[in-house]
Amino acid sequence: MNRTNVFSAIVALLVLSATGWIVVNWWPASSDEIGDSSTDQSATTIEEPAAPLVVLTDAKAIVAGIRTQPVTRSSIALTRTLPARFAYDDRRHVAVRAATDSIIESVAVKPGDRVEVGAVVAILRSPAIGEARGMVLKREAELELAETKQKWNADICDGVKELVWEIRAGKPVETIETDVNDSTLGKYRGQLLAAYSQAKLATQLSGSASSSSGAVSGRVIRERQSQQQQARATLDALIEQSVFETQQACKTATADAEAARRSAMVARQKLATALGISGEKASAQTVSPGETDLARLEVRSPLAGTVEERHFAATERVTAGAEMFIIADTSVLWIEADVRGRDWSAMKVSEGDRVIVTTSNQPNEQYQGKVHYVGRRVDSASGAIPLVVEISNADNQFRPGLFARVEVPTDVIDDTISVPASAVIDLDGKASVFVGSREGYQPVAVEVGVSSGGRIEILGGLSEGVKVVTRGAFLLKSELLLEGEE
């Protein structure tokens, strides 16, 4: 066999082998086999791989802080976020200013110190305050004298009235003296009693002369009757004069006391003005008579709070009205937001409503504030009206000046399924939630709608009653990703 024949034989053998392999691997199967194959392929297409399941032990779930809640239908308030800034509550914030031109003798506090109402924060020395206090002392001394004189004259007036009544009643002199012994009568005691005694004596002499038939001449009788009439007239005139004088003296003393009282009040008000005090406290300003250092002025805190700022030190001069301290009670703060013209009509909020507040340093934390008021005046520079929200700061976590955001309601979507924003996560580019069951936690893709007020509307993928993870979803996502890597 030559080389050509050998080569031809080898080629033929290779062709025969290839043909057999094709027949075995590519020749169509029987109809039954084809039907079975189709059935198997269809079943494979319908069945989908089971969603992964994150399983945590009870102890690990507790440590992770996993929380679930059933899905329910409710309303979602649509909101608009407004930039804002924390500020002092004007009702709990005061700038302590110098009442007059003064020199600071000492300063008792520094920024950050806690002070109570009436606590001394600084001591000043002011000549103007000394002069005002000196005038108060003078006017109050004059008032005291005037009031003493007024009481003296009022007592005399009352005493004379009582004495005149007893004289006109014709009581014996001895009885009258006993009755008015404790009364204040001044000079009128002796004058009226003496005149009354003379009148009584003249009456007795006239009566005895008239009763003596023939023993006393007619001339004597007429003289004694004349003396009686004269004594009675003198008594009546003295009574009228005494009543008039005492009443006039009483009125004059009352007027003088009122004038002294007004002068003292004016002096106290001038002192209060120098001290920067107004209202009821102004009328109550007084100075102890034993006070010697009249120019010394104690500056006291008008409210309980914290010293926020201090602008002067000891020995410095301050002018009237200069701001010395800022003292504030920061347990409650304001959040001031600007509402632009485009938001006026959309905003649905009024005094007392609750709103959501977030801060720049803790953007994932939400706080509740209460609307204090919505302003009416448009700011000419910004074209906005102010919205002021009141928020509790009992744990001192907020500071005035801190930036914030306020979510203001603009509309409401009724009867919709929603979940807390913390329940929705991004899983492989799809919005998803974890559904809790006895076996574990399974991710479920959902179709989301609007997001507002810390909640997200669910348009599809969840039904009512299903328990979704509202806290710890990111931890479950991490566990799921770790399991996938394994």
**Going edge to edge, which strands form the sheet with 114-115?**
93-97, 323-328, 305-310, 114-115
**Mean local confidence (pLDDT), 365-384:** 86
Which residues make Cβ contacts (< 8 Å) with residue 135, sequence separation at least 6?
Answer: 267, 270, 271
Domain boundary among 284, 306, 327: 327
For residue 23, tell me if it sits in a domain: no
What's the CA gap between 63 and 306, in Å, rounded?
Answer: 39
CATH number of the CATH domain containing 155 = 1.20.120
Q: Are 116 and 301 in contact (CB under 8 A)?
A: yes
| Mean pLDDT (the chain, rounded) | 82
What's the CA gap between 91 and 332, in Å, rounded?
Answer: 10
What's the CA gap between 279 and 100, in Å, rounded?
Answer: 19
Q: Are residues 392 and 406 in the same domain?
A: yes
18 CA to centre of own chain: 97
Q: Are residues 112 and 165 in the same domain?
A: no
The predicted pLDDT at position 214 comes to: 54
What's the CA gap between 423 and 477, in Å, rounded?
Answer: 11
461 CA to centre of own chain: 48
Helix (H, G, I), strand (E, B) or coil at 110: coil
Q: Are residues 141 and 196 in the same domain?
A: yes
pTM: 0.55
Is residue 177 packed enough to be buried (19+ CB in 10 Å), middle (13-18) or exposed (0-12)? middle
Two tokens, residue 302: 């008008």
Q: Are residues 321 and 385 in the same domain?
A: no
Q: Are residues 323 and 401 in the same domain?
A: no
More confident residue, 438 or 326: 326
Least confident of 6-10, 335-339, 402-406: 6-10
For residue 46, tell me if it sits in a domain: no
For residue 320, tell me if it sits in a domain: yes
Domain boundary among 412, 436, 459: 412
User: Which H or E run includes 269?
Assistant: helix 218-275
User: Which H or E run includes 448?
Assistant: strand 447-452
The predicted pLDDT at position 209 comes to: 63
Per-residue pLDDT reduced to its tens digit, 318-372 = 999 899 999 999 999 999 998 887 777 777 778 888 888 999 888 778 899 999 9
For residue 42, tell me if it sits in a domain: no
Q: Are residues 238 and 320 in the same domain?
A: no
Residues composing the chain: 486
For residue 45, tell me if it sits in a domain: no
Q: Are residues 138 and 256 in the same domain?
A: yes
Q: Are 88 and 400 in contact (CB under 8 A)?
A: yes
User: Which H or E run includes 22?
Assistant: helix 3-26
Domain boundary among 327, 350, 372: 327
Q: Are residues 236 and 177 in the same domain?
A: yes
For residue 199, tell me if it sits in a domain: yes
More confident residue, 99 or 107: 107
| CA neighbours closer than 13 Å in the CB half-sphere of residue 408 | 29
What's the CA gap between 7 and 156, in Å, rounded?
Answer: 166
Two tokens, residue 207: 């009566």
The structural domain count of the chain equals 4
Per-residue pLDDT reduced to its tens digit, 60-76 = 777 778 888 888 888 88
Q: Are residues 87 and 108 in the same domain?
A: no
Per-residue pLDDT reduced to its tens digit, 36-45 = 433 444 344 4
CATH number of the CATH domain containing 66 = 2.40.420.20
Q: Are residues 314 and 431 in the same domain?
A: no
User: Which H or E run includes 52?
Assistant: none
The strand ranges marked E within 65-162 are: 67-70, 72-88, 93-97, 102-107, 114-115, 120-125
Q: Are residues 304 and 408 in the same domain?
A: no
CATH number of the CATH domain containing 122 = 2.40.50.100
Question: Which range marks the domain in which residue 216 is found?
Answer: 134-271
Q: Are residues 345 and 469 in the same domain?
A: no
For residue 51, tell me if it sits in a domain: no
Least confident of 13-22, 109-118, 288-297, 338-347: 13-22
pLDDT over 70, % of the chain: 84
Per-residue pLDDT reduced to its tens digit, 112-171 = 999 999 999 999 999 988 999 899 999 999 999 999 999 999 999 999 999 899 888 888
The alpha carbons of the chain give a radius of gyration, in whole angstroms, of 53
